[in-house]
Amino acid sequence: MVADVRSLFVQRFGEQPAVTARAPGRVNLLGEHVDYNDGPVLPAAIDRHVFLAAAPTQDATAQLFAHDLGEEVVIQLDSLDKKIDQEGGDLPAWALYPAGVAWALAAARLEVPGIRAVYTSNVPIGAGLSSSAAVEAAFAVAWESLGGWQADRMQLAHLCRRAENEYVGVASGLMDQFASLHGVAGHALYFDTRSLAWEALPLPAGTALVIADSGVSRDLASSVYNQRREECRRAVEILQEYMPGIQSLRDVSPTEFAAYAEFLPPTIRRRAEHVVKEIYRVESAVSMLRRGEWRSFGAKMYAGHASLRDLYEVSIPELDILVEISRRLPGCLGARLTGAGFGGCTINLVEEDQTGAFMPGLQQAYLEQTGKDAKIYLCRASAGASAKLGRG
């Protein structure tokens, strides 16, 4: 795909690119909707990527061509605050992500040279696999190379998150950008979003990650994602009356939650219960990974999905059907929705020698029950984003 995007750049601009970059999407095995509550998460970068080719320009413009959409825009880099293109029109939604990265890098006093860029992706859009974070990470490492500076990967993750939070307007946590920039091949990433400590944990030997795309996409910025975040904030405010020292739901143990849950309104209580118990699930699941208890780990995945469905209420019937089908198929150790929910994908941990039967079995049963054609992907845990300088 790097060779493909290089060819696309030559076709579009008639010259070789000066830099190529790639950034992976991600799945989250456990720890959903806890990253903005200071909780630990367990994502893995996957071998589906955004691929980018770029060359510097002599002026302060970014000429961006989104190949998959067939759309192009030119942005004045000295007018990023206005969120307009060179002609004065509003930036299209897809362009807010690279423009937001340029804006965040410039605010951090990092060199953001003018560029011509082409990018393409095999990360499904709107499927909960963090295609937006992959776009952000790819542009961040490309500008890093062209700008001649070096940044710590965690710093880049924070800047990409700032782009998404403050420029695009999605109140996401840090997990997606972290995973895209820090991925380790063959490993899940335990990431403590409060301390920023992280550890690469080998995925179970003899297993594979199978992603099932429900075919129902969602626009995260216009979903109830931000509402869920506000509900968590409200839960903390109320619980602080009884636990003055807490700063987030991360500070509430399951035992403490049981003691004070009755003081929360019913909806707020359900949201907080999911977060508190999901944080505990991640911590216990990490111990299971270290001990090689794959089936117990898979059971935590199923429990996490039930919580997202019943307490956090971010699942949809199609995702529930995919998870229930997986239970009946040989070789599946665990399954759950991955990403923010409201559509998108499930992640299935499957015995590798059973994937040949599992994948068509899941697809066929889903078609029979919903009339929808699920796209099924066999994935591997991937290395994080990288860029390479050099023409030709």
Overall number of domains in the chain: 1
| β-bridge partners, 210 | 348, 378
Write out the two tokens for 285: 């699941």
User: Is residue 343 included in any domain, yes or no?
Assistant: no
Cα 309 from Cα 389, distance rounded (Å): 45
Adjacency order of strands within the sheet including 375-379: 332-338, 345-351, 207-213, 375-379
Q: Please, how many CA atoms are within 13 Å of residue 343, restricted to the half-sphere of its CB?
A: 15
Whether the full predicted model's pTM is greater than 0.95, yes or no, is no
Measuring CA to CA, which residue among 281, 249, 363 is closest to residue 29? 281
User: Is residue 217 included in any domain, yes or no?
Assistant: no
Q: What is the 3-state secondary structure (H, E, C) of 135-149?
A: HHHHHHHHHHHHHCC
Strand ranges inside 194-327, DSSP E:
198-202, 207-213
Does 176 participate in catalysis according to the annotation? yes
User: Is residue 232 included in any domain, yes or no?
Assistant: no
Write out the two tokens for 114: 């003018």
187 three-state secondary structure: strand
Cα–Cα distances in angstroms (integers) from residue 366 to residues 77, 305, 342, 349, in the given order: 46, 18, 18, 18
User: Is residue 228 included in any domain, yes or no?
Assistant: no
Write out the two tokens for 136: 């952000």
152 burial via Cβ count (<10 Å: 0-12, 13-18, 19+)? exposed
| β-bridge partners, 389 | 19
Catalytic residue among 38, 85, 176, 213: 176
Other C-beta atoms lying within 10 Å of the C-beta of residue 56: 14
Return the pLDDT at 392: 53
Return the pLDDT at 220: 54
Q: Please, how many CA atoms are within 13 Å of residue 155, restricted to the half-sphere of its CB?
A: 11
Domain range for 10: 2-194+382-389
Cα 350 from Cα 334, distance rounded (Å): 7
CATH, residue 21 = 3.30.230.10
pLDDT less than 50: residues of the chain: 221
Return the pLDDT at 158: 97
Other C-beta atoms lying within 10 Å of the C-beta of residue 197: 10
Q: How far is CA 291 from the centre of its chain?
A: 27
User: Is residue 307 included in any domain, yes or no?
Assistant: no
With beta carbons less than 8 A apart as the criterion, state whether 142 and 136 touch. no
Cα–Cα distances in angstroms (integers) from residue 44 to residues 144, 171, 176, 219, 385, in the given order: 24, 21, 10, 22, 13
Which residue in this structure is represented by tokens 């009884």?
A: 242
User: Is residue 227 included in any domain, yes or no?
Assistant: no
pLDDT tens for each residue of 77-95: 999 999 999 999 999 999 9
pLDDT tens for each residue of 53-68: 999 999 999 999 999 9
Return the pLDDT at 221: 45
